[in-house]
């Protein structure tokens, strides 16, 4: 059913269609509207056989979800940023216990300095938590991905984080096509937990495992992650067949045939980039967009196939790794091992700075003009702002325009000497 | 005639008593008790927590007809009961994290209700969350308070051994003053744990207005079992804090576990009481009053208070704390305190000023 | 694609207006998108919201820097914020004011085509019908009247959907007043 | 079936695979200690055990356990000086357990319910002659009969019972009780021949073809002292007086009677005379602290208004008065004359300064060694220096009480039994003492001793009705339940309950517990919390 609604409400409706048994809420922007809507649905009775808990922290939100999931019902919660970090211990725990919890991360920057706006530093900080991490490029994609996430989580036996850009998607009011309850029920059968606490068959979950079996346990956990790749593909296929929605998947290519440069992007920037690429095409510039949906597990083979023989690839990232470089870069490099593809990282859109069509076009042109001299380049940098500080503090001035990391390194000459 | 004699040699002071009607004997006296925490666990010799856990959970099993699940905080109890590949538990049990047992318990309770409702089953399994004092009064305190405030249908049991024993005996907010721990050593001008610190979680729990709060001790099994069963008769958030001596951490003989716990009760060091909806409803009276010295001298964590070099002023201060407890909980009288007693920590702090 | 930027102050329903704008377009079968300038809004602070209307799927999520229309719900912003920044040369500007556009924004009137810069006493209408200074509905109605991209009925229906009952109806009445006011103005009538 | 996670999810109770018993350096074992009451009992009664059953209300079982050692609970419950109570560990808590009164309750219960002793399962065909039917002889006869021997008792008096009949006042032991308990023995097949004085032991033995003889002649001769007196008819002997009173309650020996002596006999005489309307005054050469008489009996005497002249000896006896010399105690506590004299009005004097054994018949037996006022025996088995001839009771060195005589009789019977099998009886080694320090008194419920209702003083001092009334059933149970069960299991389940490792196995009612050494870590909580001190931690052999 078509509706013109806020993204958050769309997610809430989608989650409700999945018949969860427990929903936990702790308010942190920008995910609040999702749980607000779910709370209302439980209260009005729209969502039956489900309890909604207002908890005192994200740590408890995750913990209650762990308990509910271990108790044998579908558990859902949502978080972002500081909240995600506050529940980190529980996040790792849920994965280790193999509990198929689904959680929305309305991606947002991490403080200090406190910043409520979108980037990907929160979600990506959980890279090694053992959760599946699925990114969404639009609200329709996010809505559909949530429904698929329950099925994937339950089949794989691991929790799934659905990552959607905070505010940009969560607060956007858009046309959304909600599948019917019948369609969802057909797609997602009633929950049958793999294991749960039941007085009829008592088990002890969460044992202490020492060196004698820890490695093996981790190998099996990794195997589950790897198994998730074909499962995501299959589940996506099933879902698309039932709904006709072209959502989910491991990745999605746009305008990639014969592209001279391919951008790898996660999240809502993909839509902006598609428009930009279309505009470039009108100018005779051939750029493609690879929308990366599955960050964990990482689809190495699919990325390699998607890039193909294209010589230039730019990863557009809304985060990076301090003291290192882009977070996706090593993964893409691994995927392309043995090929002479030029892989660059463009970092932009941190802490809510808008990524505009012009940003994307600039990156494409920068690449095709051969201006990428380093692995990582910062785009949309306001050199006035940075220089106003650096000039006084260290007598250094940075140039205007895209900032390659080598420029930053050059400013350290004095320190080296 | 036999029933007319309300005198039974040891009464209910012992675990069982052949002279008592079987229904009046402790769950622990029954030869078919649940033994929810079974042999083969790796607790230290004389572990009070292992004892307290079996006492409490067995009683809860009886009260719920076996419809029971446990969420366990990280700590000794978890480590010694479930090291791969062996579990000592005989009921559904989960360990998640150190600080989240109350919240995991809340989640379990939700799941149990929802599943039962969906299945049209009126018999909803009940939930106990449990942990040590560190997991309860410190790191798990936020989730605990949240569980209380939401009145989640969870009984939280804190096995209080007054320090972080699992990590090697470090101080917690339940460590009493002057006690030695690895982080409050017997050195300096004021050896042992600082005075004027620590929190009284049972009274804090009462301030949440939850249906049931109680303290108990492994040295009074009947009282402990009664309280667990009573707690299970309520729905909503409940809290029981059980004093479980740790021979390792307290530095007492492994065989003295129950005796030390008894002296803590009988000296007024650890008041045993229960409260409903924030109001005290009963107080376990001291049977044979003991000077606190008798309690302290069995434990090396108080070695500095009992030897030749002992500072009588510090001993007097601990005795004063016990006397405060005796007074404010009326541990020797016939009354039940009308108002909520002031935490002994507060009395101690105010004495200082 | 029609890109609209709405300016106002926290509490005036700017974000709701953008959403209702998108809903109005949706009701007429368009693709539409609305989103606020994200922040921790507080009552009285300048607020911006955006809306896009198109006949194909709207993929971009960038903020609108070059609007086809600007809706200013609070005249006092004119001196404080560059509300007309990036406005396209054939764009529209609707300003909440009882005074004429020539008085309020003489420069802009000169810059944009005739009849593209309009004022409407939206707050007055709102006070009249709703009893509270919520100029969203009349402003949208004014935009509808000026651009003909969507109908008055859609504006009314969107508010009535969001606020079923008296509040929605009052908004609808206010919208009608504003719509008529602009139509009248554009027809050369003089309602002032 | 659930699809369980690898390693992180475990099956229930799998820890049983981990045998923690290997951690142990100390092992708990159940020890059976000797309770102080049992240890003290001259008759060797297993008091703790019969109290155990009495506490449950199983009186017959209790009585049967009791009579394993002593066939006279009803008499004992009246005349035993119950020194066991003085040793009772409960005395450290509040007051000692009223063992004696429970014993009396059981004895009376058995009479009321006509409980009888079981006849021996088989007859050995051995014949034993017992000379004297006092407590020692009857006790020996009882035990020998239980072994299946045939027992014949000869008694010189007209009725059996010895001192129990002729020495103990009726107010302390109604004769019907004695008759009932003796009848229970003859019901077992023991024969008693009264009015049969023995002149030649060897001849009796030979003529009757007895395999062994036990002498239980008692100490029936009153000790004499030479008191200068004008009219000797007024000087009487205690045993004669008691004997006369027991058969004729209308004895006239005067109003003011001086009873000379400080032992139990003196008190018995004084209290008996008081009941006849006399005003007895006890004259004793030492003070109350040094007095050998039973304290409770003496308290009773004083309550009844009997006067005592302490630190006094009778120097001369006159028709209506005595000359008393005052004494003082030296450093050793012995009385020394002071040379100070006073007069005391008295119609007569009863000498109660001791009894002697008539050894004349013994001295006729060749090789039978005697000593001062006693026959020499091996106290291990009570055999005299003549093989086959044993002795017990007052004629043997030791306490001259009914209870001690019963104990000696038992040991003589065991000695005879072994002798008849051609071996020598050795007393089994005693269990270690159950000390109060080994117990856990906290567990016991507080309760004072039930005080036996006493007859009103006036009534008591003027009649020969029993002074000490028995316990009601209610009180008997109460009193039995006050027993701490020192050193012996009372099935309180403490060990079973307090084991943190569930390593104590409960075997069911009456069966006690056993340790599961597969899991017992040897922490010792069970031993520490056993109220009775029944568990001991012993080092493992490592």
* Domain presence at residue C12: yes
Distance of residue B209 Cα from the nearest chain D Cα, in angstroms: 33
Same domain for D93 and D170, yes or no, is no
pLDDT at site C2: 93
Whole-angstrom Cα distance, residue B345 to residue B341? 11
For chain D, say whether B22 makes contact (Cβ under 8 Å).
Answer: no
CB contact under 8 A, A275 and C59: yes
Whole-angstrom Cα distance, residue D335 to residue D347? 26
Q: Which chains touch A (3 or more CB pairs under 8 A)?
A: B, C, D
* Domain presence at residue A59: yes
Confidence check: pLDDT of C40 > 70 = no
| Residues 70 through 129 of chain A touching chain D, CB cutoff 8 Å | 96-98
How confident is the prediction for chain A on average, in pLDDT? 97
For chain A, say whether B132 makes contact (Cβ under 8 Å).
Answer: no
CATH value at residue C68: 3.40.920.10
Weakly modelled stretches of chain B, pLDDT under 50? none
Please enumerate in sequence order all residues whose Cβ is within 8 A of that of D285, keeping only pairs 6 or more positions apart, or say none: D262, D311, D312, D313, D327, D335
Instruction: Taking the CA atoms of C98, C101, C107 and C111 in sequence, report the sign of the dihedral they define.
Output: positive
Same domain for A309 and A227, yes or no, is no
Same domain for A207 and A311, yes or no, is no
Note whether C75 and C104 are within 8 A (CB).
yes
CATH value at residue A271: 3.40.50.920
By residue range, what is the domain housing residue C54? 2-186
For chain D, say whether B296 makes contact (Cβ under 8 Å).
Answer: no
Residue C111 burial (10 A CB sphere; 0-12, 13-18, 19+) = middle
pLDDT at site B170: 97
For chain A, say whether D1 makes contact (Cβ under 8 Å).
Answer: yes
First vs last Cα of chain C: how many Å apart?
33
Nearest Cα residue to D158 out of D204, D193, D201: D193
pLDDT at site C191: 46
Same domain for D216 and D227, yes or no, is no
Distance of residue D1 Cα from the nearest chain A Cα, in angstroms: 8
> Would strands A173-177 and A251-254 be described as parallel, antiparallel, or unpaired?
unpaired
Whole-angstrom Cα distance, residue B36 to residue B66? 10
pLDDT at site D154: 97
* Domain presence at residue D450: no
Distance of residue A33 Cα from the nearest chain B Cα, in angstroms: 22
Q: Which chains touch D (3 or more CB pairs under 8 A)?
A: A, B
Same domain for A52 and A199, yes or no, is yes
* Domain presence at residue D209: yes
CB contact under 8 A, D7 and A216: yes
Select from A243, A278, A304 the last residue of a domain: A243
Instruction: Taking the CA atoms of A345, A348, A354 and A358 in sequence, report the sign of the dihedral they define.
Output: negative
The minimal CB distance from D519 to the residues B18, B39, B257 is found for: B39
Choose the mutation target among B1, B4, B11, B14 for the interface with D, i.e. most D CBs under 10 Å.
B14
* Domain presence at residue B28: no
Chain C residues within an 8 Å CB radius of A136:
none
What letter would DSSP give residue A114?
Answer: P
What letter would DSSP give residue B137?
Answer: I
Kindly tell me whether chain B and chain D come into contact, counting contact as 3+ Cβ pairs under 8 Å.
yes
pLDDT at site B2: 64
The minimal CB distance from B254 to the residues D10, D494, D523 is found for: D523
What letter would DSSP give residue B211?
Answer: S
* Domain presence at residue B6: no
Same domain for D59 and D97, yes or no, is yes
* Residue D187: strand, helix, or coil: coil
Same domain for A239 and A262, yes or no, is no
- Model confidence at D425, in pLDDT bands (50, 70, 90)? very high
CATH value at residue A225: 3.40.50.970
* Domain presence at residue A395: no
**Count of CB pairs separated by less than 8 Å, B with D:** 185
Confidence check: pLDDT of A74 > 60 = yes
Model confidence over B32-71: pLDDT tens digits?
A: 999 999 999 999 999 999 999 999 999 999 999 999 999 9
Whole-number CA gyration radius for chain B: 20
Choose the mutation target among D15, D479, D512 for the interface with B, i.e. most B CBs under 10 Å.
D15
Whole-angstrom Cα distance, residue B340 to residue B273? 11
If one counts every other C-beta atom within 10 angstroms of the C-beta of residue D358, the result is 15
CB contact under 8 A, B84 and A75: no
Number of domains making up chain D? 4
Same domain for A285 and A139, yes or no, is no
Same domain for A205 and A270, yes or no, is no
* Domain presence at residue C192: no
Same domain for A209 and A323, yes or no, is no
For chain B, say whether A88 makes contact (Cβ under 8 Å).
Answer: no
Same domain for D405 and D459, yes or no, is no
CB contact under 8 A, A213 and B84: yes
Distance of residue D9 Cα from the nearest chain A Cα, in angstroms: 4
Same domain for A172 and A312, yes or no, is no
Same domain for D346 and D398, yes or no, is no
Chain A residues within an 8 Å CB radius of D3:
194-195
Q: Kindly state the average pLDDT of the residues D181-195.
A: 97
Same domain for D473 and D515, yes or no, is no
* Domain presence at residue D3: no
Nearest Cα residue to A82 out of A51, A54, A61, A66: A61
Distance of residue D3 Cα from the nearest chain B Cα, in angstroms: 15
Query: Which pTM does this prediction carry?
Result: 0.91
* Pairwise pLDDT comparison (C6 vs D454), residue with the higher score: C6
Note whether D416 and D214 are within 8 A (CB).
yes
Model confidence over A167-221: pLDDT tens digits?
A: 999 999 999 999 999 999 999 999 999 999 999 999 999 999 999 999 999 999 9
For chain D, say whether A332 makes contact (Cβ under 8 Å).
Answer: no
Whole-angstrom Cα distance, residue A308 to residue A264? 13
pLDDT at site D240: 87
Q: Kindly state the average pLDDT of the residues D150-177.
A: 93
Q: Which chains touch B (3 or more CB pairs under 8 A)?
A: A, D
Whole-angstrom Cα distance, residue C55 to residue B198? 67
Confidence check: pLDDT of D232 > 60 = no
For chain A, say whether B90 makes contact (Cβ under 8 Å).
Answer: yes
Nearest Cα residue to A293 out of A255, A334, A247, A336: A247
> Would strands D504-508 and D512-515 be described as parallel, antiparallel, or unpaired?
antiparallel
Chain B residues within an 8 Å CB radius of D506:
31
Same domain for D473 and D512, yes or no, is no
Chain D residues within an 8 Å CB radius of B255:
523-525, 527-528, 537
The count of C-alpha atoms lying within 13 angstroms of the C-alpha of A180, restricted to the half-sphere facing its C-beta, is 4
CATH value at residue B64: 3.40.50.970
Q: What's the length of chain D?
A: 542
First vs last Cα of chain B: how many Å apart?
60
pLDDT at site D457: 57
Confidence check: pLDDT of D470 > 70 = no
By residue range, what is the domain housing residue B339? 33-352
Model confidence over C89-131: pLDDT tens digits?
A: 999 999 999 999 999 999 999 999 999 999 999 999 999 998 9
Q: Kindly state the average pLDDT of the residues A123-143.
A: 98
For residues A97, A98, A101, A104, the Cα torsion angle rounded to the nearest 10 degrees is: 100
Nearest CA in chain A to C37: A167
pLDDT at site C192: 43
Residue ranges of the alpha helices (H) in B82-218?
Answer: 101-119, 133, 141-150, 201-207
* Domain presence at residue B209: yes
Whole-angstrom Cα distance, residue D100 to residue D217? 27
Q: Kindly state the average pLDDT of the residues A282-297.
A: 98
Distance of residue A142 Cα from the nearest chain D Cα, in angstroms: 30
Please enumerate in sequence order all residues whose Cβ is within 8 A of that of B110, keeping only pairs 6 or more positions apart, or say none: A21, A22, A51, A53, A64, A67, A68, A71, A73
* Residue B174: strand, helix, or coil: coil
* Domain presence at residue C191: no
Whole-angstrom Cα distance, residue C30 to residue D245? 132
What are residue A22's phi and psi, to 5 degrees?
A: -145, 130
Same domain for D229 and D156, yes or no, is no
Kindly tell me whether chain A and chain B come into contact, counting contact as 3+ Cβ pairs under 8 Å.
yes
The percent of residues in chain A predicted with pLDDT above 70, rounded, is 100
For chain D, say whether A209 makes contact (Cβ under 8 Å).
Answer: yes
Confidence check: pLDDT of D53 > 70 = yes
pLDDT at site D223: 83
Same domain for A127 and A15, yes or no, is yes
Beta bridge partners of D433: D34
CB contact under 8 A, D481 and B19: yes
The minimal CB distance from B87 to the residues A199, A207, A212 is found for: A207
CATH value at residue D374: 3.50.50.60
Model confidence over D103-129: pLDDT tens digits?
A: 999 999 999 999 999 999 999 999 999
Beta bridge partners of B69: B127
The count of C-alpha atoms lying within 13 angstroms of the C-alpha of B209, restricted to the half-sphere facing its C-beta, is 2
CB contact under 8 A, B51 and D477: no
Chain A residues within an 8 Å CB radius of D2:
193-196, 198, 201, 203
What are residue B325's phi and psi, to 5 degrees?
A: -60, -45
If one counts every other C-beta atom within 10 angstroms of the C-beta of residue A320, the result is 22
Number of domains making up chain B? 1
Same domain for D288 and D347, yes or no, is yes
* Domain presence at residue A407: no
By residue range, what is the domain housing residue A319? 251-380
CB contact under 8 A, A194 and D3: yes
Distance of residue A248 Cα from the nearest chain D Cα, in angstroms: 28
Same domain for D230 and D295, yes or no, is yes
Same domain for D166 and D191, yes or no, is yes
* Domain presence at residue D83: yes
Same domain for A126 and A275, yes or no, is no
Same domain for D264 and D341, yes or no, is yes
CB contact under 8 A, D9 and A96: no
By residue range, what is the domain housing residue D20? 14-32+489-539
- Model confidence at A35, in pLDDT bands (50, 70, 90)? very high
Which whole-number Å values give the CA distances from D251 to B291, D247, D417, in the listed order? 63, 10, 44
Nearest CA in chain A to C40: A116
What are residue A230's phi and psi, to 5 degrees?
A: -65, -30
Number of domains making up chain A? 2
Beta strands in D121-175 (DSSP E): 127-131, 150-154
Q: Kindly state the average pLDDT of the residues C72-85.
A: 92
> Would strands B93-95 and A204-205 be described as parallel, antiparallel, or unpaired?
parallel
Note whether A362 and A402 are within 8 A (CB).
yes
Select from A225, A243, A261 the last residue of a domain: A243
Number of domains making up chain C? 1
* Domain presence at residue B14: no
* Domain presence at residue A398: no
pLDDT at site C189: 62
Model confidence over A329-346: pLDDT tens digits?
A: 999 999 999 999 999 999
């Amino acid at each position: 059913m078509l509706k013109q609604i806020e993204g958050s409400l769309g997610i809430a409706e989608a989650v409700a269609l999945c018949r969860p048994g427990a929903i936990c809420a702790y308010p942190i922007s920008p995910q609040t509207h999702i749980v607000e809507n779910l709370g209302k649905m439980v209260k009005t009775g729209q969502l039956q056989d489900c309890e909604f808990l207002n908890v005192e922290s994200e740590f408890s939100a995750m913990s209650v979800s762990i308990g509910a999931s271990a108790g044998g019902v579908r558990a859902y919660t949502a978080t972002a940023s500081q909240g995600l970090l506050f529940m980190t211990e529980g996040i790792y725990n849920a994965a280790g216990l193999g509990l198929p919890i689904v959680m929305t991360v309305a991606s947002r920057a991490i403080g200090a300095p406190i910043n409520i706006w979108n980037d990907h530093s929160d979600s990506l900080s959980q890279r090694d938590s053992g959760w599946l991490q699925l990114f969404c490029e639009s609200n329709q994609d996010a809505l559909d991905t949530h429904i698929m996430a329950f099925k994937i989580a339950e089949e794989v036996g691991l929790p799934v984080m659905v990552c959607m850009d905070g505010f940009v998607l969560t607060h956007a009011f858009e046309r959304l096509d909600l599948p019917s309850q019948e369609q969802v029920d057909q797609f997602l059968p009633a929950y049958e937990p793999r294991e749960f606490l039941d007085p009829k068959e008592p088990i002890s979950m969460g044992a202490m495992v020492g060196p004698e079996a820890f490695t093996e346990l981790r190998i099996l956990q990794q195997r589950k992650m790897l198994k998730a790749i074909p499962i995501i593909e299959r589940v996506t296929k099933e879902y698309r067949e039932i709904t006709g929605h072209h959502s989910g998947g491991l990745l999605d290519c746009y305008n990639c045939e014969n592209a001279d440069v391919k951008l790898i992007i996660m999240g809502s920037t993909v839509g902006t980039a598609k428009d930009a690429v279309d505009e470039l095409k009108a100018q005779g510039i051939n750029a493609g967009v690879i929308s990366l949906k599955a960050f964990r597990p990482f689809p190495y083979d699919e990325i390699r196939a998607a890039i193909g023989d294209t010589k230039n690839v730019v990863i557009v990232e809304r985060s990076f790794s301090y003291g290192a470089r882009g977070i996706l870069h090593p993964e893409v490099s691994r995927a392309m091992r043995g090929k002479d593809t030029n892989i660059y990282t463009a970092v932009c859109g941190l802490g809510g700075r808008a990524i505009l069509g012009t940003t994307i076009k600039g990156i494409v042109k920068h690449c095709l003009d051969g201006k990428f001299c380093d692995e990582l380049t910062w785009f949309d940098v306001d050199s006035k702002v940075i220089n106003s500080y650096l000039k006084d503090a260290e007598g250094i001035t940075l140039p205007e325009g895209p900032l390659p990391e080598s420029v930053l390194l050059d400013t350290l000459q004095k320190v080296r000497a | 005639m036999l029933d007319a004699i309300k005198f039974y040699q040891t009464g209910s002071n012992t675990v069982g008593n052949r002279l008592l009607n079987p229904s009046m004997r402790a769950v622990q006296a029954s030869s078919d008790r649940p033994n929810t925490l079974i042999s083969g666990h790796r607790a230290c010799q004389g572990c009070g927590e292992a004892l307290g856990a079996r006492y409490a959970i067995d009683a809860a099993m009886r009260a719920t007809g076996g419809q029971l699940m446990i969420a366990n905080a990280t700590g000794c109890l978890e480590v010694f009961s479930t090291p791969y590949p062996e579990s000592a538990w005989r009921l559904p049990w989960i360990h998640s994290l150190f600080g989240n047992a109350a919240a995991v318990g809340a989640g379990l309770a939700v799941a149990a209700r929802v599943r039962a409702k969906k299945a049209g089953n009126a018999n909803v399994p009940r939930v106990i969350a449990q942990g040590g004092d560190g997991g309860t009064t410190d790191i798990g305190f936020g989730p605990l308070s949240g569980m209380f405030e939401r009145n989640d249908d969870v009984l939280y049991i804190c096995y209080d051994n007054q320090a972080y024993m699992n990590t090697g005996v470090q101080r917690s907010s339940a460590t009493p003053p002057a006690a030695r721990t690895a982080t409050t050593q017997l050195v300096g001008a004021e050896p042992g744990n600082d005075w004027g610190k620590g929190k009284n979680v049972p009274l804090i729990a009462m301030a949440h207005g939850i249906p049931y709060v109680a303290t108990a001790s492994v040295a009074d099994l009947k009282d402990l079992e009664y309280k667990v069963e009573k707690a299970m008769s309520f729905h909503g958030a409940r809290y029981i804090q059980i004093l479980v001596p740790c021979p390792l951490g307290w530095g007492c003989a492994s065989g003295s576990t129950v005796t030390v716990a008894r002296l803590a009760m009988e000296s007024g060091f650890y008041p045993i009481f229960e409260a409903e909806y924030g109001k005290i409803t009963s107080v376990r009276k001291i049977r044979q009053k003991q000077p606190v010295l008798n309690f302290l001298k069995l434990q090396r964590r108080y070695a500095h208070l009992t030897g030749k070099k002992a500072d009588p002023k510090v001993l007097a201060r601990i005795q004063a704390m016990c006397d405060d407890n005796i007074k404010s909980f009326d541990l020797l009288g016939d009354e039940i305190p009308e108002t909520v007693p002031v935490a002994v920590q507060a009395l101690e702090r105010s004495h200082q000023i | 694609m029609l890109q609209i930027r709405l300016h106002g102050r926290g509490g005036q329903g700017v974000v709701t207006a953008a959403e209702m704008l998108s809903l109005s377009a949706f009701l007429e079968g368009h693709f539409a998108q609305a989103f606020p300038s994200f922040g921790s809004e507080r009552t009285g602070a300048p607020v911006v919201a955006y809306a896009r209307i198109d006949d194909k799927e709207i993929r971009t999520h960038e903020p609108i820097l070059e609007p086809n229309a600007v809706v200013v719900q609070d005249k006092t912003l004119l001196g404080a914020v560059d509300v007309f920044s990036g406005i396209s040369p054939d764009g529209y500007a609707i300003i909440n004011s009882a005074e004429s556009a020539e008085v309020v924004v003489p420069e802009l009137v000169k810059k944009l085509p005739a009849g593209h810069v309009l004022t409407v006493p939206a707050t007055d209408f709102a006070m009249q019908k709703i009893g509270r200074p919520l100029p969203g509905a009349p402003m949208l109605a004014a935009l509808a009247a000026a651009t003909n991209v969507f109908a008055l009925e859609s504006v009314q229906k969107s508010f009535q959907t969001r606020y079923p009952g008296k509040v929605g109806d009052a908004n609808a009445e206010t919208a009608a007043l504003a719509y008529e006011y602009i139509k009248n103005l554009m027809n050369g009538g003089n309602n002032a | 079936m659930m699809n369980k996670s690898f390693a992180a999810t475990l099956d229930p109770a799998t820890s049983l695979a981990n045998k923690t018993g290997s951690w142990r350096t100390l092992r708990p074992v159940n020890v059976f200690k000797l309770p102080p009451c049992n240890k003290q009992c001259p008759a060797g009664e297993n008091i703790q055990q019969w109290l155990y059953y009495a506490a449950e209300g199983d009186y017959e079982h209790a009585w049967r356990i009791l009579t394993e050692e002593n066939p006279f609970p009803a008499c004992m419950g009246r005349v035993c000086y119950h020194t066991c109570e003085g040793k009772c560990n409960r005395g450290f808590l509040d007051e000692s357990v009223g063992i004696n009164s429970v014993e009396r309750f059981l004895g009376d219960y058995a009479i009321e319910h006509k409980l009888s002793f079981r006849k021996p399962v088989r007859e050995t065909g051995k014949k034993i002659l017992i000379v004297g039917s006092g407590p020692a002889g009857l006790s020996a006869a009882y035990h020998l009969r239980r072994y299946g021997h045939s027992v014949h008792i000869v008694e010189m008096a007209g009725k059996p019972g010895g001192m129990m009949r002729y020495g103990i006042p009726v107010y302390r032991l109604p004769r019907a009780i004695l008759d009932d308990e003796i009848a229970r023995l003859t019901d077992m097949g023991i024969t008693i021949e009264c009015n049969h004085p023995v002149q030649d032991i060897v001849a009796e033995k030979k003529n009757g073809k007895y395999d062994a003889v036990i002498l239980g002649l008692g100490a029936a001769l009153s000790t004499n002292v030479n008191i200068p007196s004008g009219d000797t008819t007024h000087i009487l002997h205690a045993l004669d007086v008691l004997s006369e009173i027991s058969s004729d309650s209308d004895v006239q020996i005067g109003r003011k009677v001086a009873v000379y002596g400080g032992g139990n006999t003196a008190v018995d005489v004084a209290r008996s005379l008081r009941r006849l309307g006399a005003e007895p005054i006890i004259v004793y050469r030492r003070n109350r602290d040094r007095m050998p008489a039973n304290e409770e009996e003496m308290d009773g005497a004083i309550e009844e208004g009997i006067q005592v002249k302490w630190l006094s000896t009778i120097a001369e006896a006159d028709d209506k008065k005595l000359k008393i010399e005052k004494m003082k105690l030296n450093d050793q506590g012995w009385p020394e004359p002071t040379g100070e004299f006073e007069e005391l009005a008295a119609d007569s004097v009863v000498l109660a300064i001791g009894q002697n054994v008539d050894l004349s018949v013994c001295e006729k037996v060749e090789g039978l060694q005697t000593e001062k006022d006693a026959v020499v025996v091996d106290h291990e088995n009570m055999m005299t220096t003549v093989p086959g001839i044993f002795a017990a009771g007052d004629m043997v060195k030791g306490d001259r009480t009914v209870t001690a005589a019963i104990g000696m009789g038992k040991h003589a019977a065991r000695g005879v039994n072994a002798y008849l099998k051609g071996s020598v009886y050795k007393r089994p080694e005693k269990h270690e003492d159950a000390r109060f320090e080994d117990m856990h008194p906290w567990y016991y419920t507080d309760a004072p001793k039930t005080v036996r209702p006493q007859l009103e003083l006036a009534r008591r001092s003027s009649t020969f009705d029993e002074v000490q009334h028995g316990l009601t059933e209610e009180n008997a149970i109460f009193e039995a339940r006050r027993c701490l069960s020192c050193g012996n299991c009372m099935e309180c389940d403490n060990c079973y309950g307090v084991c943190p490792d569930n390593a104590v196995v409960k075997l069911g009612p009456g069966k006690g517990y056993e340790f599961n050494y597969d899991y017992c870590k040897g922490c010792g909580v069970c031993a520490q919390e056993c109220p009775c001190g029944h568990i001991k931690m012993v080092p493992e052999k490592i």
